[in-house]
Amino acid sequence: MHQLPPGQRAISTFPRFGLPQFASRVVAADQAVRIEIGGAVEQEVEITADTLSNLPRVEQISDFHCVTTWSKVGLQWSGYRLLDLYEQIIQPLAIPDSAAQYLLFRCLDGYKIPIMLCDLLTSDVLLADRLDGKALDSAHGTPIRLVSPQQYGYKNPKHIKRIEVWVDPPPEHPSRFRFINHPRARVAYEERGQKLPGWLLRHVYRPLIGTTIRRFARFEEGVVSP
Ligand X SMILES: Nc1nc2c(c(=O)[nH]1)N[C@H]1C(S)=C(S)[C@@H](COP(=O)(O)O)O[C@H]1N2
Q: Is 22 in the site for ligand X (CB under 6 A)?
A: yes
Q: Is 14 in the site for ligand X (CB under 6 A)?
A: yes
How many residues of this chain bind ligand X (CB under 6 A)?
A: 20
Hey, which residues between 95 and 134 contact ligand X (CB under 6 A)? 107, 109, 111
Number of H helices, E strands in the chain: 5, 11
How far apart are the C-alpha atoms of 94 and 103, rounded to whole Å?
13
Judge contact between 69 and 7, C-beta under 8 A.
yes
Residues β-bridged to residue 211: none
Judge contact between 161 and 107, C-beta under 8 A.
yes
Which residues have CB under 8 Å from 174's CB, separation 6+? Answer: none
Q: Is 154 in the site for ligand X (CB under 6 A)?
A: yes
Among 37, 52, 66, 126, binds Mo ion (CB under 5 A): 66
Q: Which is nearer to ligand X, 83 or 209 (CB)?
A: 209
Site pattern 145..184 for Mo ion (x: CB under 5 A): --------xx------------------------------
Query: Residue 119 binds which one of ligand X, Mo ion, none, with CB within 5 to 8 A depending on kind?
Result: none
How far apart are the C-alpha atoms of 53 and 23, rounded to whole Å?
31
Query: Residue 109 binds which one of Mo ion, ligand X, none, with CB within 5 to 8 A depending on kind?
Result: ligand X
Q: Compute the least distance from the CB of residue 98 to ligand X, in Å.
A: 29
Q: Compute the least distance from the CB of residue 180 to ligand X, in Å.
A: 9
CA 122-128-129 angle, 5° bins: 165
- Ramachandran bin of 7, using left for φ above 0, alpha for ψ from -120 to 50, beta for the remaining angles: left
Q: Which is nearer to ligand X, 95 or 209 (CB)?
A: 209
Which residues have CB under 8 Å from 50's CB, separation 6+? Answer: none
Q: Which is nearer to ligand X, 79 or 141 (CB)?
A: 141
Q: Compute the least distance from the CB of residue 185 to ligand X, in Å.
A: 10
Chain contacts with ligand X (rule: CB under 6 A) = 14-19, 22, 66, 107, 109, 111, 139-141, 153-154, 156-159
